[in-house]
Structure 1
Amino acid sequence: MYHLDQLIALVTAVEAGSFSAAGRKLGKGHSTISTSINNFELTLDVQLFDRSQKYPVLTPIGEQIYAQAKLILRQNERMMAFSTSKAKFEEESLEIGLDTILPFAYIEEELEKLSTDFPHTEIHVSRSNGDSLQQQLVAGKLDVAIQANRGAVTESVDFVDLQPLIFDCVCSPDSELADMAVVDSETLMMTRQICSRDMLENPLTGVKAKFSNEIWTAEDMQDVARMVEQDLGWAYLPREISSERTAIGTLSTFVTDYNPDNIPARCEVDLLTAPGKRTGPALSRLTELLRAKVKIS
């Protein structure tokens, strides 16, 4: 039966270029590496290296064993890392609820960092509106929820303020609105508006979101953006979505006469957790990352 140190000796010798270099890298002598590999060859009853040259070269079967050895060592590293994470009581998974008003870009950087810090914790993100998110949180179906502020928050959940969501007025570059230095309120009111359904139904954002006489709605902010790109109307879009599309020229931002200084509209964002819920290290880290988002003044 082979041992892991034999696999390590083989892989290191190949990647270092010689038995001596492998010994230096592993802090062992040349003879130790050579003996380990010789014993490995005896165990497998194959010749892994052609030693007729100055430096040992893998034989054809040695190439195959080397590839398999690397896989076994990687699997062993994953197993050890997984065991270590469980010993630290890291969560097996996190259920994250995200308000449909919020673009995924709002949390993607934090999730990327979380995946690096906790590679063995599975992340599940689901979409819903604020009321439903709170209900799921109380029912224990979510570990954390991130929602556009709706005013009242049930006493059954705890919340903290996060970086607000910033909105831009956008239209298609083909729209007449894109050619106007300042769009007057009457023109805007007479031009079809595209809006997120949940944004209209939110008690706080709904008051300011509805402006035009004609409103078309979509379930998802990305769908709102696509409809605006097709010049079906104008919209308020989160900057995480609008900036990307204005940069590539599929959307244009515009200034209105009721906001000549172009002060961006904002929507407060809440991070919701269930009181008394045991907080594991992954959830604590996610909360820390989200709370550290740069505030926009």
Structure 2
Amino acid sequence: MTLEQLKALRAVVEHGGFRAASEVLFKSQSAISIAIRKLEGELNLRLFTREQYRPILTNEGKALYKKATVILNHSAEFTQLAEQFSMGKEPELRIAISGITPIEHILNVFKHTSEESPSTQLSLQIENLNGTMERLKDGDADIAISENSDNNHDYEYQHLTQVELISVISKCSPLAKFSTSLQERDLEGSTQIIVRDTSLHTPKITAGIVEGTNHWVVNDFMMKKRVIASGSGWGRLPKHMVQEELKKGLLIAISSKDFPSINIDLKAIRHKHKAIGPVASALWQRLQAIDWV
């Protein structure tokens, strides 16, 4: 029994047939069939019934497929660990950071990482909405700091903090004096300031857009704050980003029941099955130790 035979078994099951498995594994269909027949011969049992159009696992095949998956996962972890041990310090560490992140809290992590590993260049990419996770999925980032709510088994997640989003409006706006009682219909015809989703091929996020409003689209949250403070519109912003403006009365929080604050979980995310270099590993550990208060 070989790992290649187990990979063929897993591919046939997970992709629905010998032809699909051959495409995934970049082997001929006959090579996949031979691998399965040899495995069945060595085990002296049938893994699939072949009476139907698609191969169906036998009861024995179902049990052995589960064991094969465990063995292959352990093999991948073994290889990943060996690669990690053999790696020197990375020449570059790429981090995709959500635009809602309280960046002041993690700057010391980057500073300490750079001081400890000066030969590693840190590349910090500020992204919005789906753009952060897309950079990680596309291989353009090694670690993502994102509000992504998926729990994909291919990634490791580390909860960092919660970010509170509140709706704000300029003190100059004639609507400011109604901030505690505004309803969505009161904002029809007003201008809502929206941050552009920086994803390139992932469906854009459009949640939170109020029907009947005009839209200005800006590139980042700092520009969004400046536009709102100028009196040109309203929108949701991370509360930590507008604390000073709220204290000074330059911005007014819209606190009516139609505009409740929203708490969003911020997570550090990395690939489970990709070799992690020593600098990325040290940075990951430092992220866990941040005091976000």
TM-score in terms of structure 1 length = 0.56
Shift of 1:101: 4.8
Shift of 1:147: 1.7
Seen in structure 2, the aligned counterparts of structure 1 residues 190 and 103 have a Cα distance that, compared at 3 Å, is farther
Matched, 1:291 2:288: yes
Matched, 1:255 2:252: no
Q: Is the partner of 1:288 in helix, strand or coil?
A: helix
Letter in 1 for 2:160: L
Question: Could you tell me the percent identity over the aligned residues?
Answer: 22
Letter in 2 for 1:219: N
- Alignment correspondent of 1:235: 235
CA-to-aligned-CA distance 1:78-99 (integer Å, 9 cap, x gap):
xxxxxxxxxx944332111123
CA-to-aligned-CA distance 1:56-101 (integer Å, 9 cap, x gap):
xxxxxxxxxxxxxxxxxxxxxxxxxxxxxxxx94433211112345
CA-to-aligned-CA distance 1:8-65 (integer Å, 9 cap, x gap):
xxxxxxxxxxxxxxxxxxxxxxxxxxxxxxxxxxxxxxxxxxxxxxxxxxxxxxxxxx
Shift of 1:166: 1.3
Shift of 1:153: 5.1
1:109 and 1:161 mapped to 2: Cα distance? 18
Seen in structure 2, the aligned counterparts of structure 1 residues 197 and 138 have a Cα distance that, compared at 3 Å, is closer
CA-to-aligned-CA distance 1:98-143 (integer Å, 9 cap, x gap):
2345464463343234334444432111234555544543453321
Matched, 1:265 2:258: no
- Alignment correspondent of 2:192: 193
Shift of 1:158: 2.7
1:169 and 1:273 mapped to 2: Cα distance? 31
Match of 2:272 among 268, 275, 280: 275
CA contact (8 A) 1:93 1:123 kept: yes
Q: Is the partner of 2:242 in helix, strand or coil?
A: helix
Seen in structure 2, the aligned counterparts of structure 1 residues 118 and 128 have a Cα distance that, compared at 3 Å, is same
Q: Is the partner of 2:279 in helix, strand or coil?
A: helix
- Alignment correspondent of 1:27: none
2:166 and 2:216 mapped to 1: Cα distance? 18
1:211 and 1:220 mapped to 2: Cα distance? 19
CA contact (8 A) 2:130 2:199 kept: no
Matched, 1:146 2:145: yes
Shift of 1:234: 0.9
CA-to-aligned-CA distance 1:184-203 (integer Å, 9 cap, x gap):
21324553221213299998
Seen in structure 2, the aligned counterparts of structure 1 residues 226 and 181 have a Cα distance that, compared at 3 Å, is closer
CA contact (8 A) 1:157 1:273 kept: yes
Structure 2: which 5+ runs fail to align?
1-86
Letter in 1 for 2:169: C
Shift of 1:225: 0.8
More helix by share: 1
2:181 and 2:199 mapped to 1: Cα distance? 22
1:232 and 1:148 mapped to 2: Cα distance? 27
Q: In the TM superposition, what are the counterparts of 1:91-170 in structure 2 within 5 Å?
A: 91-102=90-101, 104-105=103-104, 107-129=106-128, 131-149=130-148, 151-152=149-150, 154-170=152-168
TM-score in terms of structure 2 length = 0.57
Shift of 1:164: 2.1
Seen in structure 2, the aligned counterparts of structure 1 residues 245 and 120 have a Cα distance that, compared at 3 Å, is farther
- Alignment correspondent of 1:182: 180
Q: Is the partner of 1:257 in helix, strand or coil?
A: coil
1:199 and 1:191 mapped to 2: Cα distance? 25
Larger displacement relative to structure 2 (98-107 or 167-176): 98-107
Q: What is the RMSD of the two structures over their aligned residues, measured on CA atoms?
A: 3.5
